[in-house]
Amino acid sequence: MAWIFSIIGIVTTPVLLFFELVMWFLAAMVGAEPSNTDFVRVLFVIIVVAIALAALVCPLIAIFSQRATGPLVIAGITLAGWLVAQLYFVGMAVGVCSFEGCFPA
């Protein structure tokens, strides 16, 4: 069972991270529009968080379901990539990172 979740996680996590990045940009555009209500802005943030958690679920299930070495390594690599992506997205939101890289402010 851990093999299944680790393979699903390593395939779906990059796709979900791409969708999360697109949703960050949509949330920023929606947040900048003065005609949108606060409910819509909060809804977009909730969608972004849900996508991030969906990308995290399969590798975590793979880690906690069995103690076989192969699935743990695959899930660990996937989780490390997920964490780096989340830090990069936070850096983009703060203004430290861009598509050209991260630079100290």
Q: Report how many helices (DSSP H) and strands (DSSP E) the chain contains, helices first.
A: 3, 2
Whether 80 shows a pLDDT value over 90: the answer reads: yes
User: What does the domain layout of the chain look like in residue ranges?
Assistant: 2-102
64 SS3 class? helix
56 SS3 class? helix
d(CA 62, CA 74): 9
Nearest to 11 by CA among 53, 73, 58: 58
Tell me the whole-structure pTM to 2 decimals. Answer: 0.81
Q: What are 11-67's pLDDT values in tens digits? A: 999 999 999 889 888 888 888 888 888 898 889 889 999 998 988 898 888 888 877
Whether 105 shows a pLDDT value over 80: the answer reads: no
Query: What is the mean predicted confidence (pLDDT) over 68-79?
Result: 88
Query: What is the mean predicted confidence (pLDDT) over 83-91?
Result: 90
Whether 104 shows a pLDDT value over 80: the answer reads: no
